[in-house]
Amino acid sequence: MLFFSILFISICDQLIKVIISKNLYITQSIPVINNFFHLTYIHNRGAGFGILAGYKNLFILLSIIIIVLLLIYRNNCIKNNLSDLAIGIIIGGALGNLVDRIRLGYVIDYLDFRIWPVFNLADTAIVTGTFLFFIYYWGVEKNNE
Protein backbone atom coordinates (compact mmCIF):
# COMPACT_ATOMS: atom_id res chain seq x y z
CA MET A 1 0.00 0.00 0.00
CA LEU A 2 2.78 2.46 0.93
CA PHE A 3 4.83 2.24 -2.25
CA PHE A 4 1.75 2.01 -4.49
CA SER A 5 0.42 5.23 -2.89
CA ILE A 6 3.75 7.00 -3.36
CA LEU A 7 4.06 5.96 -7.00
CA PHE A 8 0.41 6.60 -7.88
CA ILE A 9 0.31 10.13 -6.44
CA SER A 10 3.73 11.24 -7.69
CA ILE A 11 3.22 9.85 -11.21
CA CYS A 12 -0.33 11.26 -11.54
CA ASP A 13 0.89 14.62 -10.25
CA GLN A 14 3.73 14.78 -12.76
CA LEU A 15 1.56 13.62 -15.67
CA ILE A 16 -1.09 16.26 -14.97
CA LYS A 17 1.59 18.95 -14.69
CA VAL A 18 3.05 17.93 -18.07
CA ILE A 19 -0.42 18.08 -19.64
CA ILE A 20 -1.09 21.51 -18.11
CA SER A 21 2.29 22.95 -19.11
CA LYS A 22 2.00 21.61 -22.69
CA ASN A 23 -1.56 22.83 -23.29
CA LEU A 24 -1.81 26.14 -21.43
CA TYR A 25 0.42 29.17 -21.45
CA ILE A 26 1.58 30.67 -18.16
CA THR A 27 -1.27 32.47 -16.31
CA GLN A 28 -3.87 31.13 -18.76
CA SER A 29 -7.13 30.27 -17.04
CA ILE A 30 -9.82 28.00 -18.44
CA PRO A 31 -13.19 27.94 -16.69
CA VAL A 32 -14.40 24.45 -15.87
CA ILE A 33 -17.29 25.71 -13.74
CA ASN A 34 -17.53 29.42 -14.46
CA ASN A 35 -16.66 31.68 -11.50
CA PHE A 36 -16.13 28.62 -9.27
CA PHE A 37 -13.44 26.28 -10.64
CA HIS A 38 -10.84 27.06 -13.30
CA LEU A 39 -7.66 25.45 -14.55
CA THR A 40 -5.09 28.21 -14.15
CA TYR A 41 -1.44 27.55 -15.03
CA ILE A 42 1.03 29.29 -12.73
CA HIS A 43 4.59 28.84 -11.51
CA ASN A 44 4.86 28.85 -7.73
CA ARG A 45 8.37 29.71 -6.60
CA GLY A 46 7.48 29.54 -2.90
CA ALA A 47 5.63 27.30 -0.51
CA GLY A 48 1.88 27.22 0.04
CA PHE A 49 0.22 30.39 -1.24
CA GLY A 50 3.56 31.41 -2.76
CA ILE A 51 5.05 32.42 0.60
CA LEU A 52 8.82 32.50 0.96
CA ALA A 53 9.41 32.70 -2.79
CA GLY A 54 13.08 32.35 -3.64
CA TYR A 55 13.88 29.73 -0.99
CA LYS A 56 13.94 26.81 -3.43
CA ASN A 57 16.91 25.08 -1.81
CA LEU A 58 15.30 25.31 1.63
CA PHE A 59 12.10 23.69 0.29
CA ILE A 60 14.13 20.96 -1.41
CA LEU A 61 15.97 20.22 1.84
CA LEU A 62 12.77 20.30 3.94
CA SER A 63 11.00 17.97 1.50
CA ILE A 64 13.83 15.45 1.68
CA ILE A 65 13.94 15.65 5.50
CA ILE A 66 10.15 15.16 5.77
CA ILE A 67 10.22 12.18 3.39
CA VAL A 68 13.06 10.55 5.33
CA LEU A 69 11.38 11.21 8.71
CA LEU A 70 8.09 9.75 7.48
CA LEU A 71 9.86 6.63 6.22
CA ILE A 72 11.69 6.25 9.54
CA TYR A 73 8.44 6.72 11.46
CA ARG A 74 6.67 4.20 9.22
CA ASN A 75 9.35 1.60 9.93
CA ASN A 76 8.96 2.12 13.69
CA CYS A 77 5.17 2.44 13.98
CA ILE A 78 2.29 0.03 14.02
CA LYS A 79 1.78 -0.65 10.33
CA ASN A 80 -1.71 -0.89 8.91
CA ASN A 81 -3.43 0.11 5.69
CA LEU A 82 -4.47 3.54 6.99
CA SER A 83 -0.97 4.49 8.16
CA ASP A 84 0.59 3.23 4.93
CA LEU A 85 -1.98 5.07 2.83
CA ALA A 86 -1.56 8.31 4.78
CA ILE A 87 2.23 8.24 4.74
CA GLY A 88 2.29 7.14 1.08
CA ILE A 89 -0.02 9.96 0.01
CA ILE A 90 2.04 12.56 1.90
CA ILE A 91 5.32 11.28 0.44
CA GLY A 92 3.82 11.03 -3.06
CA GLY A 93 2.71 14.65 -2.87
CA ALA A 94 6.02 15.79 -1.43
CA LEU A 95 7.86 13.93 -4.21
CA GLY A 96 5.67 15.49 -6.90
CA ASN A 97 6.51 19.01 -5.76
CA LEU A 98 10.14 18.08 -5.04
CA VAL A 99 10.61 16.87 -8.63
CA ASP A 100 9.24 20.20 -9.89
CA ARG A 101 11.56 22.24 -7.66
CA ILE A 102 14.63 20.25 -8.67
CA ARG A 103 13.75 19.99 -12.38
CA LEU A 104 12.16 23.38 -12.99
CA GLY A 105 13.04 25.62 -10.05
CA TYR A 106 9.34 26.14 -9.26
CA VAL A 107 6.17 24.13 -8.69
CA ILE A 108 3.44 23.97 -11.33
CA ASP A 109 0.03 24.85 -9.87
CA TYR A 110 -3.26 24.67 -11.75
CA LEU A 111 -6.32 24.01 -9.51
CA ASP A 112 -8.07 27.34 -9.06
CA PHE A 113 -11.24 27.59 -6.97
CA ARG A 114 -11.17 31.40 -7.07
CA ILE A 115 -11.55 31.73 -3.28
CA TRP A 116 -8.21 30.06 -2.53
CA PRO A 117 -4.72 30.39 -4.01
CA VAL A 118 -4.02 28.08 -6.98
CA PHE A 119 -2.65 24.67 -5.98
CA ASN A 120 -2.05 21.19 -7.46
CA LEU A 121 -2.64 17.46 -6.89
CA ALA A 122 0.55 17.14 -4.83
CA ASP A 123 -0.63 19.85 -2.42
CA THR A 124 -4.01 18.12 -2.14
CA ALA A 125 -2.29 14.81 -1.44
CA ILE A 126 -0.14 16.32 1.32
CA VAL A 127 -3.17 17.84 3.05
CA THR A 128 -5.33 14.71 2.61
CA GLY A 129 -2.52 12.42 3.74
CA THR A 130 -1.88 14.56 6.81
CA PHE A 131 -5.59 14.44 7.70
CA LEU A 132 -5.59 10.63 7.33
CA PHE A 133 -2.39 10.40 9.36
CA PHE A 134 -4.00 12.31 12.24
CA ILE A 135 -7.00 9.96 12.10
CA TYR A 136 -4.62 6.99 12.23
CA TYR A 137 -2.49 8.49 15.00
CA TRP A 138 -5.51 9.50 17.07
CA GLY A 139 -6.87 5.94 16.79
CA VAL A 140 -3.53 4.41 17.82
CA GLU A 141 -3.24 6.74 20.81
CA LYS A 142 -6.85 6.01 21.88
CA ASN A 143 -6.12 2.25 21.70
CA ASN A 144 -2.97 2.65 23.82
CA GLU A 145 -4.78 4.37 26.72
Please report which helix (H) or strand (E) contains residue 51, including its range. Answer: none
Residue 141 binned pLDDT confidence (cut-offs 50, 70, 90):
low
Is 13 a catalytic site residue?
no
* Rounded average pLDDT over 61-78: 93
* Rounded average pLDDT over 29-42: 97
HSE value, Cβ hemisphere, 13 Å, CA-based, for 140: 13
- In sequence order, what DSSP letters do the residues of 70-96 get, joined into one string? HHHHHHHS---HHHHHHHHHHHHHHHH
Residue of 13, 84, 100, 123 marked catalytic: 123
Residue 74 binned pLDDT confidence (cut-offs 50, 70, 90):
very high
Residue count (the chain): 145
Is 109 a catalytic site residue?
yes
Examine the pLDDT at 78 and tell me if it is beyond 80.
no
Residue of 13, 84, 100, 109 marked catalytic: 109
Q: Tens digits of per-residue pLDDT, 44-63? A: 998 876 677 888 999 999 99
Q: Which residue has the higher pLDDT, 140 or 139?
A: 139
pLDDT for residue 145: 54
